[in-house]
Amino acid sequence: MNISVSPGACAAPVLKERGQREVFCGLTGIIWLHRRMQDAFFLVVGSRTCAHLLQSAAGVMIFAEPRFATAIIGERDLAGRADLDDELDRVVGRLLARRPEIKLLFLVGSCPSEVIKLDLGRAAARLSRVNEAGVRVLAYSGSGIETTFTEGEDACLAALVPEMPDTAPGAPASLLVVGALPDTVEAQFRSLLSQAGIDRIDFLPQRRLAELASVGPRTRILLAQPFLAATAKALEERGARRIPAPFPIGIEGTTLWLEAACRAFGIDPAIVSKLAEAPKARAAAALERARSALAGRSVFFFPDSQLEIPLARFLAREMSMRLVEVGTPYLHRQHLAEELAMLPPVQISEGQDVDLQLDRCHAARPDLVVCGLGLANPLEAAGIATKWSIELLFSPIHGYEQAADLANLFVRPLARRAMLEV
């Protein structure tokens, strides 16, 4: 595939907004992280609101033995009349006695735990010492104060980095793919990259604590998600080096991502392109059907998941959609440099002033808006089709075999709106 990289949107001025925001908190990440880390448990130390958020976001889990829960901070605790450390120790002790399969316990901070300045890092260190049975206890914040919901994954993975052992001296170079991916997607990437000749490939997060990769100066990291700034920084501080690449979204992004990995290991990128011919052809045929529904339609992104720029690049370049505005909560220019170079010229906005952005959206009357749950209903009521950005984290969207499913996530709201208008 020949992929041309034009000056694109990287040269365009970015509209920076610092007003009222409409975003979900980082607790949401637990829903996809717990599926990936199969011997981990997430204990949110929070309020009934946090418990409701988790339960409604993961309603189906009610039928399974859950691997997340909320330790609710009661009114006595908030008034400072209870010894929270003792209560937390009791809750954790009961949990670990009942669930011996847990090997990794995350204490997840929330707005209430941060407001009362509960030191979960200290609690995690204390509980790790007490639980000599090999349960590792770590802490990170999923609080909603000034964050966006994908930051929960970033904070969780960054908390894992200090746990990664150092690579042995003289160990061969290794590839570390960073970002939670469904098992099927991981298997596809692993197969292509190992057939191309990369011998040592690890994934973060790992499925089991015992599989946690080592890290060191010979580790090359390949980000699978664009929202992992803190994790990448923590890995770089351990000596690892990031491979610059766009993200593996759509045929184009996946090809460039795989090729970048090969180049970093001195492997001719044509090898992986050749290996990927069959999945690429399948993806191209499946995307053709979606393209007829999306081509020429306009799309407006509100800032929510931090996936907005790679998604906009995919919709514009592979689905021929028209970009109106691409909003992102944060713009990490370094991690997104390759994406920005490929994005057609468009208004990019960073941060949010929701009323002003809604005014721009209503004035533009886009065919489709990608936004958080809080904005979807009012926009639908105003006759605009919407796609919840959170669905893009719950669905497998990376790689060749998932490209058509990704495109269809955008086709469906347009089809539904067309039916409503008949």
Binding-site annotation, residues for [4Fe-4S] cluster: 25, 50, 111
For residues 110 and 352, which CB has a smaller minimum distance to ligand SF4 in the complex?
A: 110
Q: Which of 23, 34, 107, 110 touches ligand SF4 (CB under 6 A)?
A: 110
Smallest separation, CB 148 to ligand SF4 (Å): 11
Residue 202 CA to residue 160 CA, distance in Å, equals 14
Binding of ligand SF4 at residue 111 (CB under 6 A)?
yes
Largest CA distance in the chain: 67
Smallest separation, CB 393 to ligand SF4 (Å): 16
Other CB atoms within 10 A of residue 341 CB: 16
Residue 31 CA to residue 23 CA, distance in Å, equals 16
Binding-site sequence positions: 25, 50, 111
Binding of ligand SF4 at residue 258 (CB under 6 A)?
no
Query: Binding segment for ligand SF4 among 141-149, 216-224, 287-295, 355-363 (CB under 6 A)?
Result: 141-149
Residue 269 CA to residue 218 CA, distance in Å, equals 20
Smallest separation, CB 142 to ligand SF4 (Å): 6
Residue 179 CA to residue 224 CA, distance in Å, equals 5
Residue 208 CA to residue 52 CA, distance in Å, equals 28
Binding of ligand SF4 at residue 73 (CB under 6 A)?
no
The residues, ordered by sequence, that sit 6+ positions from 326 with a Cβ below 8 Å of its Cβ are 9, 301, 308, 309, 312, 343, 346, 347, 348, 349
- Whether 66 contacts 98, CB under 8 Å: no
DSSP helix/strand/coil, 385:
strand
Q: Which of 22, 35, 39, 49 touches ligand SF4 (CB under 6 A)?
A: 49
DSSP helix/strand/coil, 245:
coil
Give how many residues touch ligand SF4 by CB under 6 A.
12
Binding of ligand SF4 at residue 143 (CB under 6 A)?
yes
Kindly state the DSSP code that residue 161 receives in the 8-state scheme. G
Between the CA of residue 418 and those of 22, 36, 44, 206, 297, what are the distances in Å? 27, 37, 41, 42, 13
Smallest separation, CB 228 to ligand SF4 (Å): 20
For residues 49 and 408, which CB has a smaller minimum distance to ligand SF4 in the complex?
A: 49
E strand or H helix at 92: helix 84-98
- Whether 28 contacts 180, CB under 8 Å: no
For residues 110 and 357, which CB has a smaller minimum distance to ligand SF4 in the complex?
A: 110
Q: Which of 8, 29, 144, 366 touches ligand SF4 (CB under 6 A)?
A: 144
Other CB atoms within 10 A of residue 126 CB: 16
Binding of ligand SF4 at residue 148 (CB under 6 A)?
no
Binding of ligand SF4 at residue 50 (CB under 6 A)?
yes
Query: Binding segment for ligand SF4 among 48-56, 158-166, 319-327, 380-388 (CB under 6 A)?
Result: 48-56
Binding of ligand SF4 at residue 45 (CB under 6 A)?
no
Query: Binding segment for ligand SF4 among 12-20, 139-147, 240-248, 380-388 (CB under 6 A)?
Result: 139-147
For residues 23 and 343, which CB has a smaller minimum distance to ligand SF4 in the complex?
A: 23
Q: Which of 43, 45, 47, 179 touches ligand SF4 (CB under 6 A)?
A: 47
Query: Binding segment for ligand SF4 among 42-50, 187-195, 208-216, 273-281 (CB under 6 A)?
Result: 42-50
For residues 111 and 243, which CB has a smaller minimum distance to ligand SF4 in the complex?
A: 111
Binding of ligand SF4 at residue 155 (CB under 6 A)?
no
Give me the DSSP letters along 28-88. GGHHHHHHH-TTEEEEEEE-HHHHHHHHHHTGGGGGS--SEEEEE--HHHHTT-S-HHHHH
Residue 202 CA to residue 240 CA, distance in Å, equals 13
Binding of ligand SF4 at residue 46 (CB under 6 A)?
yes
Query: Binding segment for ligand SF4 among 142-150, 275-283, 316-324, 349-357 (CB under 6 A)?
Result: 142-150
Give me the DSSP letters along 276-308. THHHHHHHHHHHHHHHHHHTT-EEEEPSSSS-H
- Residues in contact with ligand SF4 by the rule CB under 6 A: 25, 27, 46-47, 49-50, 53, 110-111, 142-144
